[in-house]
Structure 1
Amino acid sequence: MAPPTSRSWLSCLISFVAICASASPAAATSSSKRGLVFTPNVTHPMDNYIWTQKPSDLTWYYNYGASPSGVFSNVTQEAFEFVPMLWGAPADASDTTFLTTVKGLITNGRNITHVMTFNEPDGPSEWGGSNVDPTMAAKVWMTNIVPLQEMGIKVGLPACTGGWGGIPWTNQFLGNCSKLISTSTGGKTKNCTFDFIPLHWYGNFGGLASHIGEYQSTYNATNPKIWVTEYNFDNQDLPTTQEFFNMSAEYMDRLTYLERYSLFAAFRSDVSNVGANATMLSSGGQLTDIGAWYLGRSATGVKPTDTKSSGAVVDLDFRRCICGWDNGYYYT
């Protein structure tokens, strides 16, 4: 067979570029509100580095603990803010381990400006909740959180589930906390204060919008900010899941009182507890469309159930050069 002429090669190249352009949707809207719910992958540790590769919209993260994750040790606090969390209550309310840990981070030069408290205290442990009584939570707040407030650190209310019991639990907690604070000031009435309200939601977009609005209207007297620290539309088909992601991101990005949000999806689809289609990584460890959109990148075309890994470096480099995309992997 005769070698192709320059004209036939050019025609082929133009056709290839046209196909790439039609198959690669535009990048999702960029947002500085987006954070990472970090769930480390021990089986595939390289997955843990995806979230800080450029380009990325992620500006902050939490890991359900008081200390930053070692995998991000080479990233500055200013570039990728770590937010400590007091996940549950210690057995003894006078235990100040959390307070000591956060103070230690600050002493060692980490600029901690926000902390979160009590992960789903209204939920049972078998569902992932911390199952903390509102009275005990208030006592632990006094010993571990109030001293941080006095240092100027912004604190979040306990992050209740998206169920009906969240607001009643929060109201009981605030009542107990206010009584303890008033007692500590010699009986002078003083309310328990907070700076932001973390919310969790698993369900459709209408439910998410309603849930955000309910908390904002219930506690708007103190003008708090809202953080949605866990959310997703679990166990749906792929088109429904992608539609939810795009609608919810657009909605939360334009709410002025909603300060931050973090999609619960930073794991592979084959280990997902929110359904295979709701994840940011495929079974093979590549960024799905949702994963790429969340990072502010173009769609990858990778299905959540795809098992192919990132082995074809030459092919990916060629596609990146010609089409400007690389199936979700950026090589630095």
Structure 2
Amino acid sequence: MVSFGGSSSLLLLALSLFSTTATAATNRGLALGIEPLAEADLKKLTNAPTTIKWYYTWNMYPNKVLEKRNDIKFFPLVNPDQANAKLGDALKNLRAKSDHLLTFNEPDMGKDRGGNPIDPGRAAQLYIDHIMPLQEKGWKISHPVVSGSPDGLAWLKKFRDACKAKKPGKGCAADFVSVHWYGNMDGLKNHMNALRDFYQPTANNMKFYVTELAYPQVDEAKNLQLIKDASKYFDSLNWVEGYAWFGSFRQKDANGWTKGGVALMKDNGDLTSVGKFYVNK
């Protein structure tokens, strides 16, 4: 656990010992709607052999099929309108094995663009009041996950400043960073490095999860190349613990912005080349 706005000699020591390589493959996950796929489709993505180790639903509630599984971990996500006095009670109803909490999905974006807009100062207060206390109950919590646009980093800076003002010397503690990126490989590396720099020196003690990743409006071949390149990149960094491809649906169900080249499944239910690579089939 690290503090957003605080400092620690242990973190500085961690900086000197930090290594940028890893030997184990990074955990792959699924970004799912609450009930995005038929059970048969979902089994194609998650039944052995598969690389899938975790998933989330953009909400606090697990998928009805996967909640019966003990081999795939569920990461609930809480948005600002859910961060109230009843949050603790709601979390008690989640599966006991859930221990990573994602918070505030794209607070820098308008609802018309899929975001959940909130003022950074208000978000900081909600985070302090309702999210940070969950760490005492064993949860690992993420900071709000912003978009990959310049607006995202700008929002995070305001959030950080508000955290410092509200909790001097400590700020908003977090255990991991959640990341969104849509675009090419060079852009992904630049965005990851920008976030890494933003979180220094605390980033040296936190893991990163890339919870949305795809190459919108290009064909399947370019998306396949991105996921191959991104996989090698993530596997080379011991501070990236997991990633989830944005495309856990059939091609016809892709939204108008991403287009069907991002999909893990064809319209007939077969895996696309991206899907085959991603789930190792």
Identify the TM-score tier after normalising by the shorter chain: 0.7 to 0.9
> Can you list the C-alpha shifts for 1:93-123, whole angstroms capped at 9, x where unaligned?
6x22333222333xxx612321110000000
> For 2:120 and 2:243, how far apart are their aligned partners in 1?
25
Q: Evaluate the alpha carbon distance shift between residue 40 and residue 154 of structure 1 in structure 2; reply closer, same or farther with a 3 A threshold.
A: closer
> For 2:153 and 2:181, how far apart are their aligned partners in 1?
14
Candidates 120, 127, 138, aligned match of 2:106: 120
- For the pair 1:70 / 2:64, whether they are aligned, the reply is yes
> Can you list the C-alpha shifts for 1:166-225, whole angstroms capped at 9, x where unaligned?
11211211222233334xxxxxx3222111111111111100011011101221211222
- For the pair 1:168 / 2:154, whether they are aligned, the reply is yes
Q: Percent identity?
A: 30
* Residue aligning to 1:204: 184
2:81 maps to a residue whose letter is A
Could you state the TM-score of these two structures normalised by the residue count of structure 2?
A: 0.84
- For the pair 1:82 / 2:83, whether they are aligned, the reply is no
> For 1:216 and 1:43, how far apart are their aligned partners in 2?
34
* Residue aligning to 1:101: 90
* Residue aligning to 1:177: 163
Question: By how many angstroms is 1:42 displaced?
Answer: 6.0
Q: Evaluate the alpha carbon distance shift between residue 42 and residue 255 of structure 1 in structure 2; reply closer, same or farther with a 3 A threshold.
A: closer
Aligned-pair Cα RMSD in Å: 1.9
> What is the SS of the residue equivalent to 1:117?
strand
Q: Evaluate the alpha carbon distance shift between residue 43 and residue 219 of structure 1 in structure 2; reply closer, same or farther with a 3 A threshold.
A: closer
Does 1 or 2 have the higher relative contact order (CA < 8 Å, sep 6+)?
A: 2
> For 1:190 and 1:80, how far apart are their aligned partners in 2?
34
Bigger fraction of residues in strand: 2
* Residue aligning to 1:292: 276
> What is the SS of the residue equivalent to 1:277?
helix
- For the pair 1:131 / 2:122, whether they are aligned, the reply is no
> For 1:158 and 1:250, how far apart are their aligned partners in 2?
26
> What is the SS of the residue equivalent to 1:70?
coil
> For 1:128 and 1:165, how far apart are their aligned partners in 2?
14
Q: Evaluate the alpha carbon distance shift between residue 131 and residue 145 of structure 1 in structure 2; reply closer, same or farther with a 3 A threshold.
A: same
1:85 maps to a residue whose letter is L
- For the pair 1:37 / 2:23, whether they are aligned, the reply is no
Counterpart contact for 2:127–2:172, Cα < 8 Å:
no
Counterpart contact for 1:233–1:278, Cα < 8 Å:
yes
> What is the SS of the residue equivalent to 2:161?
helix
Structure 1 stretches of at least 4 aligned residues deviating more than 4 Å after TM superposition: 40-45
Runs (5+) with no aligned partner, structure 2: 1-23
Runs (5+) with no aligned partner, structure 1: 1-29, 183-188, 298-332
- For the pair 1:156 / 2:142, whether they are aligned, the reply is yes
Could you state the TM-score of these two structures normalised by the residue count of structure 1?
A: 0.72
Question: By how many angstroms is 1:41 displaced?
Answer: 5.3
> For 1:49 and 1:180, how far apart are their aligned partners in 2?
46
Q: Evaluate the alpha carbon distance shift between residue 242 and residue 193 of structure 1 in structure 2; reply closer, same or farther with a 3 A threshold.
A: same
